[in-house]
Amino acid sequence: MPARSSNIPLQSYDYNAEGPLVVLLDDIPGLQISILSDQLPQSVFDLGIMQLIAFIQQYQTSCSNSQQLADVLDLLEGYRSTCSNLQYIQLIYPWYGALPSIDIKIDSKVGWSAKMQLSYTLAKELIQYIRHS
């Protein structure tokens, strides 16, 4: 069971032996902490496709390989414009043992999805960006 901080009010706490532990925090919209028995503890942040695009665009002027960054942005723009049934975009931030990633679930019927991997530094910047946007 995760330690509870006295300064973070818990909205809900749900656990059963066969399912995940999910903690929703009142003061951080879109944050879920999910612990599955077959998964490392992690924080999950929901974000919109436009938030992700705007966050990545911040790096256009400082990126050493602007063509690769443009390709990533084109891919995300393509998702935005052609995937009307985009299910969700989540930043998965493991507490240890793995690198953060962004999971893009395109269509639940077909099961299409995409995954982007981030450094811890970039993931922390994205979390701050999500909180302030």
d(CA 122, CA 112): 25
pLDDT over threshold 70, residue 36: no
- Of residues 24 and 119, the one with the higher pLDDT is 119
Max Cα–Cα distance, the chain, nearest Å: 49
73, 56 in Cβ contact below 8 A? yes
68, 41 in Cβ contact below 8 A? no
Q: What's the pLDDT at 10?
A: 34
- Of residues 59 and 107, the one with the higher pLDDT is 59
d(CA 7, CA 4): 9
Query: Which residues are paired to 90 by β-bridges?
Result: 46, 103
Q: What's the pLDDT at 89?
A: 86
Instruction: Find the helix or strand (DSSP H, E) in which 17 lies.
Output: none
d(CA 131, CA 133): 6
Q: What's the pLDDT at 3?
A: 35
d(CA 126, CA 52): 8
Read off the pTM.
0.63
pLDDT over threshold 70, residue 133: yes
